[in-house]
Amino acid sequence: MFRSISFAYPFIIMVAFLSISSTATAAYMPSRRDCAICHVMWIDDFRTDKETLIEWQPGNVLMKDTQGVVSSEDICYSCHDGYVLDSRSTVWKFNQHKTFIKPTTRVTVPPSLTLSNKGELYCGTCHTPHVTGSPPEADLAGLTTFLRKKNVDSNLCEMCHINQADYRVTNGHPLHIMEPNFSDSLFQMGSKKAAERNKIICQTCHIVHGAKGEKIVITENKNSELCIICHDKQKQLVNSKHDLRLTLPDVKNAKQQLPSESGPCGACHAPHNAVNKRLWARQLAPGNLAAQMCLTCHGSKNIYDIKQIGQHSHPINVAPSVKDAIPHELPLFSESAARNPAGRIQCFTCHEVHRWDPSSPINTGGKDIEGDAATSFLRMSNSRSSTLCLACHIDKKQLVASDHNLEVTAPDEKNLFGFAPQDSGPCGACHIPHNAAGNKLWAKELSADKEVVTQLCTGCHHKDGSAKAKLVGQNSHPLNVGIEKLKPPPTDGQTVKSLPLYDGGGNIKAGQKIVCLTCHEPHTWDPGNGGAGSDYVFKNMEGDNSNSFLRKVNSPSSALCGSCHADKALVAGTAHDLNVTAPEAKNLGGQTVKESGLCGTCHFVHNSPNKVKLWARPLGRVKKHQGVMDALCTGCHSKKNIAQKKIPRIAWHPREKLIINTTQFNKKGNDYTPLFGDNGQEVEMGNISCTSCHNAHLWSYLVGQKNATENPEGKGAYKFLRTASKNTVCVVCHGPEALFRYLYFHDPEMRATFK
């Protein structure tokens, strides 16, 4: 019976044409005869004794327990069977909006959109031939769409799918925003244009009738075909390690879909009702979203056999040390994972998770390809010149042009992961951002026999290391020592005039120890040059006290030594300042004072041939009863040496007269006279030596009178004397005579005069 209705098409078209062409009315008002085209049972004259093709029952869709024939899907199909090549051909073709089911709790059907008498969705929920919906009245498309409500920019969809429309609350794909990269291919697949072509609406991705993908998506999306039409840059993820179809094929997302079902994009992102912002489709631990998105798979608590970041990894959710220096290519993010110029460093700052190779859009790597500093989903290649690291750590750029660039000085040296410098980059030779061996993101094996910071240096600077040509020697500046004995004490507990102190774990910390990194900045060859040093052309260039990776220039003024040894820095400008008295004299290393620095003329920091005071000058000849501390002085104060004009007539206190200096004097006081043993160490009982009475670094013990030019001949309180004669240990034995014996010790005539 109803199949014969198809012959009424010419009649319908004619009526529609007459209606549109009429100037009397804006919409066609059907007659009773026209109603009979569908409501054939209303006309008794049409009744026959034949059995209907569709089981007939009285009533209509709104009557309880009835399903009127005209409300059945079959009555719609009698016209919309695809015979006419227009929109009717797509209604039952492929996939369509679900019908004859009760709405779930995820949707809210308003009263104006009718359900069947069974409370189910049916064609008539959205369609009715009795009203004109969208587009506007008197429009041909509007008359033939027969929607109950106008559907401009998918507002009909949003009447039921309220949660999806409120995407900010339900973590869904954004709607009603402009997408400048809309492709025409999207509309060719069936996507509907919004009032503004590039605005995203529900029907951008969904089509109610004739959908080729599940969930009435306009096209099949198991390979994320729909996603990458708009998200073109992200398509480079396909067939990379982040394509979970290859690497985690059995792991389901939060919607319990395997990667083969969700597609490579859907493995991590869900367009509706995602776990959290950024359309995330995997379970998240509490905390910083920007980090947890990556830690979902790469964190220590996951069960997947994939790369983890380890205990020692680059800090995240931290502010950049030099914010203005970070280039645009390395974005900052808020904790919600949104780009924010005022944000913080997150995983996404260095990593572009959708692109394996920053230098090649077609190189996707593959499941079994091991990444390196040139790939590994980095935003920019980090091999060769460590561009990525140095983009933020601009103060370390000078390393590339120094001997600490192992690509130049030790090209065969490998880091913890077996990468040579040309593969890891100059930074990667010593540091790795994830799974490092310890603090400082160290990229070499660490042992437990020394504190961490020392090992950072001795990893190369040892007899079998890549820097075996530069060892510190047996006699070197002490390490892992405190600063309690420094005079005057430092102004703050964390640093000594900009020189950092470290704890055993390698962290800068108040009141801790002096280590290699206290004096050395291994990334900066020349502390006096703040530039990148791009003109470096030497290999194993010999350094001096003005460079050599020191934190401060230490020649000719020895500012570095003076930062800690402030009381010794007072030697500057005195007769013991060889810049003044002997600028051409050389130490045992063949350096003049200009090359060695003021302190370096007498002391070596490393590789000293003498353990005592790390002495850097020849030791003087001494007699049997004299000690090594005397030899330090006679090296200069002897014939044919630089202080030959200052040789005392009498220089030695009788050796058989042992002195005890702790009975009457406080070791911490200014009147204390130090005594020294045969190996130069301080003792409480011993013999008087040159350095017992003389402080070689201080011309005068009087405050404010330190410069030799004030009293060049050394009268009274000068001559590098430690203290006033009345306060010396001499008074213990000599009583009142100590005044003269101390002041005129080297002049027998003067001593005799005052007896």
Q: With beta carbons less than 8 A apart as the criterion, state whether 452 and 312 touch.
A: no
Q: With beta carbons less than 8 A apart as the criterion, state whether 332 and 210 touch.
A: no
Structure tokens at 410: 């030790």
> Could you check whether the bond before residue 488 is cis, i.e. omega within 30 degrees of 0?
yes
For residues 501 and 636, membership in a common domain is answered with no
Q: With beta carbons less than 8 A apart as the criterion, state whether 515 and 507 touch.
A: no
Q: With beta carbons less than 8 A apart as the criterion, state whether 159 and 258 touch.
A: no
SS3 assignment, position 534? coil
* CA 93/CA 120 separation, integer angstroms: 22
Q: What is the pLDDT of residue 660?
A: 80
The strand pairing partners of 14, in sequence order, are none
What mean pLDDT is reported for the chain? 83
Residue 587 domain-assigned (yes or no) = no
For residues 404 and 542, membership in a common domain is answered with yes
Residue 138 domain-assigned (yes or no) = yes
For residues 509 and 637, membership in a common domain is answered with no
* CA 78/CA 37 separation, integer angstroms: 11
Please count the other Cβ atoms lying within 10 Å of the Cβ belonging to residue 447: 8
What is the percentage of the chain residues whose pLDDT exceeds 70? 84
For residues 529 and 634, membership in a common domain is answered with no
* pLDDT one-digit tens code per residue, 686-719: 888 899 889 999 888 876 555 555 556 666 667 8
Q: Containing H/E element for 585? A: none
For residues 506 and 646, membership in a common domain is answered with no
Residue 493 domain-assigned (yes or no) = yes
- pTM here is 0.78
* 357 pLDDT higher than 90: yes
Provide the pLDDT confidence category of residue 28 given band limits of 50, 70 and 90.
Answer: very low
For residues 643 and 544, membership in a common domain is answered with no
For residues 11 and 104, membership in a common domain is answered with yes
For residues 538 and 641, membership in a common domain is answered with no
* pLDDT one-digit tens code per residue, 172-185: 999 999 988 788 89
* CA 270/CA 342 separation, integer angstroms: 28
Residue 739 domain-assigned (yes or no) = yes
* 572 pLDDT higher than 70: yes
Domain limit, last residue, from 150, 183, 212: 150
For residues 545 and 636, membership in a common domain is answered with no
Domain limit, last residue, from 96, 131, 150: 150
Residue 336 domain-assigned (yes or no) = no
* pLDDT one-digit tens code per residue, 508-527: 887 788 999 999 999 999 88
Residue 183 domain-assigned (yes or no) = no
Number of domains into which the chain is organized: 3
Q: With beta carbons less than 8 A apart as the criterion, state whether 570 and 622 touch.
A: no
Residue 233 domain-assigned (yes or no) = no
For residues 131 and 11, membership in a common domain is answered with yes
Domain limit, last residue, from 506, 525, 550: 550
Q: What is the pLDDT of residue 510?
A: 78
Structural domain boundaries, residue 498: 396-469+484-550
Q: With beta carbons less than 8 A apart as the criterion, state whether 521 and 549 touch.
A: yes
Residue 67 domain-assigned (yes or no) = yes
Q: What is the pLDDT of residue 286?
A: 87
What is the percentage of the chain residues whose pLDDT exceeds 90? 43
Q: With beta carbons less than 8 A apart as the criterion, state whether 596 and 589 touch.
A: yes
For residues 534 and 634, membership in a common domain is answered with no
